[in-house]
Structure 1
Amino acid sequence: MTTSSAKVPVNFIRGWPAPSLLPASKLKAASATVLSDPKLFVPGLEYGPDPGYQPLREELACFLGDFFGVAPDPRRICITGGASQNVACLLQSFTDPAYTQAVWVVAPCYHLICPILEDSGFRNRLRSIPEDEEGMRVDLLEEGLKEFENAKPRDPVYKELSPDRKAYRHIIYVVPTCSNPSGKTMTPARRRAIVEVARSYDCLVICDDVYDFLTWPVLSPPPSSTAPAASLVPSPPPLPRLVDLDRALGPSPHDAASGGHFGHVVSNGSFSKILGPGMRTGWAEGSPALAHGLSATGSSRSGGAPSQLAAAIACEVLRCGALEDHLRDLVRPALQRRHGLLVDAARRELAPLGVEFVSRNWEADGVGIYGGYFLWLRLGEGLPGASEVAKRCKEHENLIIAAGQMFAVKGDEQAVDLDRNVRLCFSYLDEALMVEGVERLAHVLRTWNEPLGPDSQRDQGLNMATFK
């Protein structure tokens, strides 16, 4: 029997872009342009203004306006050090531990968001809200918010926020498009409902809008790796962002009470998935008041914009059209193919064993659409739990998979049962290894009740007793 250590490792957890998807040549050219022109490298290498590198704000406003069909306005944009860093800044600038009641997190959730929320004083105040086929359950969200209506919060006591910033009563965290880990995309009706609830209960919705540019039509069979991008079905038009739905409604009563139109949604964007995580650059888009207030975060006031040189390089990649070329010609076709290969392998190897998954998360003009980085599996009732499956995969197949409990909301883990779920990432692995990894997972499930050998008899007995 081949031992685990003798097998090539297959890691389905790593949610990175594959090395082949990194635009090194485009970034090299953009860097050479920036570092050759004093008009670009002097502001790029100096402290930047609090809201960020102004040329990038302007380029992003046009890029986002064209993509989402909204009027561009650089005043709505604040340049950040990436999506994760910006969540921390948003919490510093728009919450107060004595005033903000709770943080409502979609479950399953992006697992690394919980420590960021806890670091801002919300330990034991994170609340799970499950998804259904349309996205976060707004009915359960509103039920939870109503429980706090009779509480009389103190004024903010730990932070001096006014007049540039305010504290919201609640924070809501969602990934509306191609959610990590479930891959689900929130319907337009559900997006409007969340915005309406947020406006009623003085919530700030933090939307990680990091996958909106990474969607594609589901083709069967998957396209060849040599198929030209121009031959593929064009990407679908994007669904409306929550931030645009909120802006269209104008100021809420809570906005009037706070003395400024801060709005109730912020779109948290990042270059990590579309250029490279090492850029450490992103943007926040909200109302002009919210963008200005975010730029007033103490660390930005002290150090200037958090990613000034990287922002100047990203600006040049945008300005010359290289980013759109990169997405159209390389990233989307590659992810489309990888997703198709993974789905085909899962359909062939796992579905007959009782494993369920969704291969498309919405439709546009009758064509199934998928996007993001992840495929979310559900193990059938006759199969063992995901945590035990993950353990055996690692020990006997050198296969690393993410069991569902990894994506439970910290402190509220029991609210949503995730131990029949597994997340597989298709963005990073070599294509052949990705398919082999599915075959290894299928082998573990198929042979679950077979003896594993003398070194594993004790563990096998425990596992069989658990899952009879």
Structure 2
Amino acid sequence: MVLIPLHPSKAKPASASAGPAGTGADKPLVNLLRGWPAPAILPVAQLKMATADVLTDASVVVDSLQYGPDSGFQPLREQLASYLSNIFSKYSVPNDPERICITGGASQNAACILQSFTDPAYTACIWVSAPCYFLMCPIFEDSGFAGRLRAVPEDDEGTDVEALERGFQEFESSPPSEPTYKNNLAPDRKAYRHVVYVVPTSSNPSGSSMTVKRREQLVRLARKYDALLIADDVYDFLQWDVPRADAVLTSKQGSVSLPPPLPRLVDVDRTLPQEDGHETEEDSRRFGNAISNGSFSKIVAPGLRTGWVEATPAFSYGLAQTGSSKSGGAPSQFSAATIAVLMRTGELDRYLQEVARPALQWRHRLLIQAVEEHLSEFLEIKCGGLPKATSSEVTTYGGYFLWLKLRRSDMSAAAISKRAFAKENLIIADGPLFEVKGDEASARFDDHIRLCFAWEDEAKIQEGVERLARVLRNWDEPEDAATALPASDTGAFK
């Protein structure tokens, strides 16, 4: 077993010099909000190799620099189909490129899905699992659903399906008052009555993963009410086993294998039998009720702006007929060719196993230990804590974030965020940021904080927690008006 000390560092932080008492202006910024991969983790050398390969291969270079086919760079579709079939082999995922459509990343693709598979005159609502990835809300609003986003709370198993069904039923007795106006969709596309947005594995911000039972319940519900489940499966390959609390690690591991993955919603939708006596309409059978919205942003680099959808062949083809994709050809054609090389040569898998997962597992451990040492009096870890020494179960965690709940009811996350920035030059994400826009009252998170362990270097993760601890320890002292982080800046931090 690889070993890790419970408290890896008590050394003075590199930027411990303090300015005038009560201010943080002269302290180096520590940003535990930004959900980006750390510069040290980016696969620069691998991308140099792959790019050179594309530009020197006469059989590929012209295609990679031209407009692409609607469904995307075919070699990448083939590589992805094979890779996903292998990773999710337990669920008999077919090796079928027709199930793959290359996209411009998970966010861009969400907009394309809304263009091709919703109609604001027919689609009732966008149902968003809360707490939510907050930057999805403007995408839904821009697609005609402003004021029609509804929060669905999470429980210990994932999205609360009983609450979701109650929401669906509210619209059963009130059919659309207007005729559909997207008459161009059929036969290659359709409008769903409902759209449900979830991050089933290592959700942002909660870090939680939906149970298999809940995934099945969610698919059954989507079939019953003509709903499309958009699953952002962006962290599925960034999972690791969490060593127990009594394990001692002195450094990050050299290699971290991917733990057995959970079935994605698209896998459940493909394999779950239809319920007796319930006949799904032809369009739903053809297009399915769940799609996997994948992205290379977290597993290679965000700047590549490349992702994929896995769905039924009919859905993937219909998505490729979205006007913006057809006009420009497949998005990210050159990036797709570069990524195809990474996959073909095995460099992507090696990078994930030897760089990305070990780094994130280690950073997660450092953050957990720092929180337990400095913040346990004030904050409770909601998901992703260390398994107890007596536990025999293997705990899996993943993603970029740790979700914490305040123990004191007289503190607010928003006020803590403001004071941390003003007094300590520390940026954290307060819970209200992750409330569903327009339906905030249905799922409040003013007593929650999200910390990211992916962006800052290891010393700054520790220092950021120590700065936050100072803010909380001094909370009851008289305080001057704190300077808030401008709301317009938060989008830059993802």
TM-score between both structures, scaled by the size of structure 2: 0.88
Partner of 1:113: 136
Deviation at 1:151, TM superposition (A): 1.6
For 1:361 and 1:97, the matched residues in 2 are separated by 45
Partner of 2:8: none
**C-alpha distance 417-304 of structure 1, shift in aligned 2 (>3 A):** same
Deviation at 1:59, TM superposition (A): 0.3
Amino acid at match of 2:431: G
Deviation at 1:293, TM superposition (A): 0.2
Deviation at 1:8, TM superposition (A): 1.2
Partner of 2:5: none
2:374 to 345, 349, 363: 349
For 1:249 and 1:86, the matched residues in 2 are separated by 26
Deviation at 1:358, TM superposition (A): 2.6
For 1:206 and 1:385, the matched residues in 2 are separated by 32
Amino acid at match of 2:51: S
Report matched runs for 1:68-467 at 5 Å: 68-69=88-89, 70-153=93-176, 154-219=178-243, 220=245, 221=247, 223-225=249-251, 227-229=253-255, 234-249=257-272, 256-258=281-283, 261-360=286-385, 366-452=393-479, 456=480
Partner of 1:59: 79
- Cα RMSD of the aligned pairs, angstroms, is 2.0
**C-alpha distance 323-224 of structure 1, shift in aligned 2 (>3 A):** farther
Partner of 2:69: 49
**C-alpha distance 114-210 of structure 1, shift in aligned 2 (>3 A):** same
For 2:378 and 2:136, the matched residues in 1 are separated by 33
For 1:238 and 1:124, the matched residues in 2 are separated by 36
2:110 is paired with a residue whose SS is helix
1:5 is paired with a residue whose SS is coil
For 2:252 and 2:121, the matched residues in 1 are separated by 57
Deviation at 1:353, TM superposition (A): 2.9
Q: Which moved more, 1:218-227 or 1:403-412?
A: 218-227
**C-alpha distance 210-449 of structure 1, shift in aligned 2 (>3 A):** same
Task: Note the residue ranges of structure 1 that are not aligned, 5 or more in a row.
Answer: 461-468
Partner of 2:37: 17
Deviation at 1:439, TM superposition (A): 0.9
Q: How many residues align?
A: 453
For 1:361 and 1:174, the matched residues in 2 are separated by 25
Contact kept in structure 1, 2:375 and 2:469, CA below 8 Å: yes
* Deviation per residue, 1:340-376 (Å, 9 max, x gap): 0000010111112354433259999811111100000
For 2:119 and 2:273, the matched residues in 1 are separated by 25
For 2:108 and 2:292, the matched residues in 1 are separated by 14
**C-alpha distance 222-272 of structure 1, shift in aligned 2 (>3 A):** farther
Partner of 2:487: none
Deviation at 1:222, TM superposition (A): 6.3
Contact kept in structure 2, 1:341 and 1:435, CA below 8 Å: yes
For 1:287 and 1:414, the matched residues in 2 are separated by 36
1:346 is paired with a residue whose SS is helix
* Deviation per residue, 1:235-271 (Å, 9 max, x gap): 3100011101101136897864438600000100000
Contact kept in structure 2, 1:222 and 1:340, CA below 8 Å: no
Contact kept in structure 2, 1:269 and 1:282, CA below 8 Å: yes
1:78 is paired with a residue whose SS is strand
TM-score between both structures, scaled by the size of structure 1: 0.93
Q: Percent identity?
A: 53
* Deviation per residue, 1:267-304 (Å, 9 max, x gap): 00000000000010000010000000000000111111
2:309 is paired with a residue whose SS is strand
1:210 is paired with a residue whose SS is coil
For 2:280 and 2:326, the matched residues in 1 are separated by 25
1:261 is paired with a residue whose SS is helix
**C-alpha distance 213-48 of structure 1, shift in aligned 2 (>3 A):** same
Partner of 1:466: none
Contact kept in structure 2, 1:362 and 1:369, CA below 8 Å: no
Deviation at 1:459, TM superposition (A): 6.5
Task: Note the residue ranges of structure 2 that are not aligned, 5 or more in a row.
Answer: 1-20, 484-494
Structure 1 runs (4+) deviating above 4 angstroms are 250-255, 360-365
Amino acid at match of 2:161: V
For 2:61 and 2:270, the matched residues in 1 are separated by 35
Contact kept in structure 1, 2:124 and 2:194, CA below 8 Å: yes
For 2:387 and 2:311, the matched residues in 1 are separated by 26
For 1:421 and 1:278, the matched residues in 2 are separated by 30
Amino acid at match of 1:404: G
For 1:406 and 1:19, the matched residues in 2 are separated by 25
